[in-house]
Amino acid sequence: MSQSHALAADEQRPEKGDRFRQRRRKWLGITGVAVVGLFALGAVLLARHWPFSRHRVIADLQDDFHGTVTIARFHTTVFPHPGCVAEGVELVRSGGPSGSPPFASAQKLIIRAHYWDFLIRPGYISHIELQGLQIHVPPRGTMLATSRNQSPSSTRVGEVIANDAVLEVARKTAKPLRFELHKLTLNSVSRKDGFSYDVSFLNALPPGEIKSRGHFGPWNSDNPGETPVSGTYKFEHAYLGVFQGIDGVMNSHDNFQGTLAKIETHGSVDIPDFKIRRAARSSPLDSRFDAFVSGLNGDVHLEHVETVIVKTNVLVRGAVEEEPGPRGKLSSLDLNVSQGRIQDVLRLFIKEPRSPIVGTISFRAHVTIPSEGRPFEQEVELVGDFGIDESHFTKPETQKKVNNLSERAEGKKTEQKEKEEKKTEEDTDSDDPERAVSNLRGHVVLKNGVATFTNISFSIPAATAYMHGTFDLVNQKIDFHGVLKTQAEFSKVGGGGIKSVLLKPFDAIFKKKPKGAEIPIKMTGTYSHPEPALEITGGKKKDKGNGQAQPRIRESSR
């Protein structure tokens, strides 16, 4: 009995297995049909709403960039990623000058996405690459205003790459500025959140390599100046020789943050070999600065700049702003030096390899530098006051003249003593102890390459001078006039002996109360070869140095 039941059970098992396999095949078939149906439906929907068709790409570009877009060749990509490739892409914006190149063009535009993003992240594109990108910005004021897009694009892009691109900015009165972008990468690009960037390019003016990283946006369409920006940059090997009158190679590092209209910057500038071309030597410049920059027009407001010229600290405040009309930028700076070295300042301007005078200088000045295209020393304008203390001349013959003048002013120098000293110098080649020039004060106005000095005064032991005059930075000519007040009488200043007797009648003319003399003098010639002399103009002339009327004599004497 048990055997018959077992046989019956064995006969029923294959029938149940067959039914299970039949049901499984049925459900697999239904599932397969459903999947195929879904794929078919998806294909139909994609075909009807394919985001990478020629028409859709052109429409989206025109909406985003407000211009007319043309594409020479176009084809879509389906496998392994959805996307498209467009060649010969051009964007033309309305209002550009006649005959000008398109605002933007690219040899090839590659767009790539992922299929799952169509469902998970609608409007998301993983990758855009622009090959052979060129952007031509017309001169300011030549483009017609375009209405803003009232419904900003919701498209988000994971990565935009535009290496080896060119940005060219046209100017009305000069050659276009050309920026060669070696590398440009934008990440997480969207109108809502902005994007991060990594760029390196050859700057147009001055030429040099700039590398910058940071974040830009989100774009504020109602007020572009309020668009946030932040990042860092390095400006290296910038050649300053492209500007008239100066030379050198600049390196600059900076970090910044703020809005597009007011970017707060903190950085440094290093120019190890800065030179005004007419000078004999270069000078190292090292600056630290805090400033605000407008990304809308390039204006710069310098809040605090500390510059070291060799060993002298110069504090600077001011601005570099756009001038009305086609002249460009105007630099307006306030300079302040306290206890600096006169030799460091003169090194920027003099043709001699060594400063003719050394000493401690302090000055305040207001400097303006218009953008006129002339050499630096002719463009720069300066108004300031200065003081130099405890200075002496580096040329032995010049310092000796100062020493002699000081001793004559005391009435100590005689013809016999001068002969004895000359003989001693011939035998021993010795120099007199240096007598310092102190309390040198004055006011200076520099314009068109000519410095006009007023209220100049300085002292040496036993004498004080008051002068006014001009110094031409271009041809080095000097023309100074004034009066020298001495402790000794005029005849003793002349040297004593027979010469003193001959000059005795002039003591009354040049007498200074209660004692001493007031002697009208002048200094002409050139910076390298000055020619001091007594003033030969007759009559009385008001001296601009101290506001007093000064007598003149008919004869001149060296």
Q: What is the pLDDT of residues 457-470, one digit of tens each?
A: 988 787 888 999 99
Residue 508 has pLDDT above 70, yes or no: no
- What does the pLDDT average to over 50-71? 88
pTM over 0.85: no
Question: Is 47 within the bounds of a domain?
Answer: yes
SS3 track for 435-482: CCEEEEEEEEEEECCEEEEEEEEEEECCEEEEEEEEEECCCCEEEEEE
Residue 231 has pLDDT above 90, yes or no: yes
Instruction: Characterize 409-431 residue by residue with b for buried, 16 or more Cβ atoms within 10 angstroms of its Cβ, and e for exposed.
Output: bbbebbeeebeebeeeeeeeeee
- Residue that the structure tokens 């200094």 belong to: 523
Separation CA 111–CA 47 (nearest Å): 17
- What does the pLDDT average to over 86-111? 87
19 vs 10: which has the higher pLDDT: 19
- What does the pLDDT average to over 27-33? 57
CA-wise closest residue to 229 among 192, 190, 256: 256
Give ∠ CA 465-410-360 in degrees, rounded to 5. 45
pLDDT given for residue 505 in this prediction: 44
Please state, for a pLDDT cut of 90, what percent of the chain lies above it: 36
pLDDT given for residue 154 in this prediction: 74
Separation CA 27–CA 547 (nearest Å): 115
pLDDT given for residue 304 in this prediction: 94
CA-wise closest residue to 238 among 226, 252, 227, 249: 249
Question: Is 493 within the bounds of a domain?
Answer: yes
pLDDT given for residue 548 in this prediction: 42
Residue 314 has pLDDT above 70, yes or no: yes
The answer to whether 387 touches 456, Cβ cutoff 8 Å, is: no
pLDDT given for residue 190 in this prediction: 86
Residue 51 has pLDDT above 50, yes or no: yes
Residue 546 pLDDT class (50, 70, 90 cuts): very low
Residues contacting 416, CB < 8 A, separation 6+: 496, 497
Residue 379 has pLDDT above 50, yes or no: yes
pLDDT given for residue 267 in this prediction: 95
DSSP code, position 551: E
How many domains in the chain?
2
pLDDT given for residue 83 in this prediction: 93
Residue 30 has pLDDT above 70, yes or no: no
CA distances from 193 to 155, 305, 401 (A): 11, 34, 74
Q: Give tens-digit pLDDT for 349-361.
A: 787 788 888 889 9
The answer to whether 391 touches 357, Cβ cutoff 8 Å, is: yes
Residue 28 pLDDT class (50, 70, 90 cuts): low
Separation CA 211–CA 234 (nearest Å): 5
Residue 24 pLDDT class (50, 70, 90 cuts): low
Residue 13 pLDDT class (50, 70, 90 cuts): low
pLDDT given for residue 555 in this prediction: 34
- Residue that the structure tokens 């009648």 belong to: 505
Residue 70 has pLDDT above 90, yes or no: yes
- Half-sphere CA count of 321, side-chain side, radius 13 A: 10
Question: Is 98 within the bounds of a domain?
Answer: yes
Separation CA 166–CA 333 (nearest Å): 34
Question: Is 185 within the bounds of a domain?
Answer: yes
525 vs 375: which has the higher pLDDT: 525
Tokens at 251, concatenated: 């390196």
The answer to whether 437 touches 460, Cβ cutoff 8 Å, is: yes
Residue 217 has pLDDT above 80, yes or no: yes
Residue 544 has pLDDT above 60, yes or no: no
Residue 10 pLDDT class (50, 70, 90 cuts): low
pLDDT given for residue 558 in this prediction: 31
Question: Is 510 within the bounds of a domain?
Answer: yes
Residue 123 pLDDT class (50, 70, 90 cuts): confident
The answer to whether 482 touches 466, Cβ cutoff 8 Å, is: yes
Question: Is 57 within the bounds of a domain?
Answer: yes
pLDDT given for residue 23 in this prediction: 63
Residue 180 has pLDDT above 70, yes or no: yes
Please state, for a pLDDT cut of 70, what percent of the chain lies above it: 71
- What does the pLDDT average to over 293-316? 90
Residue 494 has pLDDT above 90, yes or no: no
Range of the domain at 475: 395-420+431-551
Question: Is 226 within the bounds of a domain?
Answer: no
- What does the pLDDT average to over 419-438? 53
Separation CA 524–CA 533 (nearest Å): 8
Type of residue found at 360: T
Residue 534 has pLDDT above 80, yes or no: no
Quote the mean pLDDT of the chain: 78
Question: Is 174 within the bounds of a domain?
Answer: yes
Residue 376 pLDDT class (50, 70, 90 cuts): confident
Bond prior to 80 in cis (omega within 30° of 0):
yes
Tokens at 171, concatenated: 């100017």
| Cα 476 to the center of its chain, rounded Å | 29
Q: Give tens-digit pLDDT for 183-207.
A: 999 999 987 888 999 999 998 888 9
